[in-house]
Amino acid sequence: MGYITISEYAILINTTVAAITANHSSTYVDGVIGRVSDMVETYCLGTLFESTVMTDERHTAYVRGRRPQAAKLLIQLNHTPVTEVSTVEYRVGNTDTTMSTTNLDYDPISGIVNLWWYGPIWRTQEQWTILVSYTAGYTTVPDNVKEAVALLTREWIDADDRVGGGTAGIISEYRIGNYMEKYAPGSVERGNIGLGTVDSLRAQDLLRKYRRPGVR
């Protein structure tokens, strides 16, 4: 599901739904919006723009601190902003033991969790498997993220309309995973989000604040 509707897309690019669907089916436009929304999420390094419950996310953590009684573990959750950490478990063999969530601090923006637990358990090994269940994501999609999605969607659709012309700078393939777009002969490849048009450069400016700091 995308971060904007067709109606919102029409408003954001200053046109009408009727004008959009006169040339492209609503299914096609919805599909592009969905793929662009996924691309934006990946570009923002795990920032979620819809509130999502993550269950038993697995991390490997190493004990820090010389005193076993006051040892701590640091992990970084895969998604932000973190709004709640509901359960934390450590695994020994096939057994999971729940830790008290009062014994941790977390940064909502970076997703870095500081686990600390006074007790002899940390003396037994240096490396731990930690399972975390938590909630992350914005409760509503920020307006500038919606605008970025609209701009990238327009760029994608415009490029689709012009594919095959053989003109330098016109894409023949728009890949999401690693953001490498394949251009027509005589052009170049870019390694960032979008195709380097005014729309995608504006989108990058809008999204910059949502890229996570300190991602491993």
Judge whether residue 121 has pLDDT over 80.
no
Dist. CA 116–CA 99, nearest whole Å: 10
Ordered strands of the 104-106 beta sheet: 95-99, 82-92, 127-136, 52-64, 72-76, 112-116, 104-106
How do residues 141-192 score in pLDDT, each as one tens digit? 999 999 999 999 998 888 877 664 433 334 444 444 444 444 443 333 444 6
User: Which of 28-37, 141-150, 189-198 is predicted most confidently?
Assistant: 141-150
**Measured on CA atoms in the order 202, 204, 110, 59, is the torsion positive or negative?**
positive
Beta bridge mates, 173: 182
Judge whether residue 97 has pLDDT over 50.
yes
Predicted model pTM: 0.74
How do residues 100-111 score in pLDDT, each as one tens digit? 787 788 999 889
Number of C-alpha atoms within 13 angstroms, CB side, residue 50?
Answer: 10
Percent of the chain with pLDDT over 90: 41
> 207: part of which helix (H) or strand (E)?
helix 198-207
Residue 165, pLDDT score:
41
User: Which of 93-102, 115-124, 184-193 is predicted most confidently?
Assistant: 93-102
Q: What distance separates the 2 farthest-apart alpha carbons in the chain?
A: 69
pLDDT, the chain, mean: 80
* Cβ neighbours of 49 (radius 10 Å): 21
Dist. CA 70–CA 120, nearest whole Å: 9
Q: If you ran DSSP here, which 8-state letter would residue 61 be given?
A: E
pLDDT band per the 50, 70, 90 thresholds, residue 213: low
User: Which of 61-70, 74-83, 93-102, 167-176 is predicted most confidently?
Assistant: 74-83
- Is the Cβ–Cβ distance between 90 and 81 less than 8 Å? no
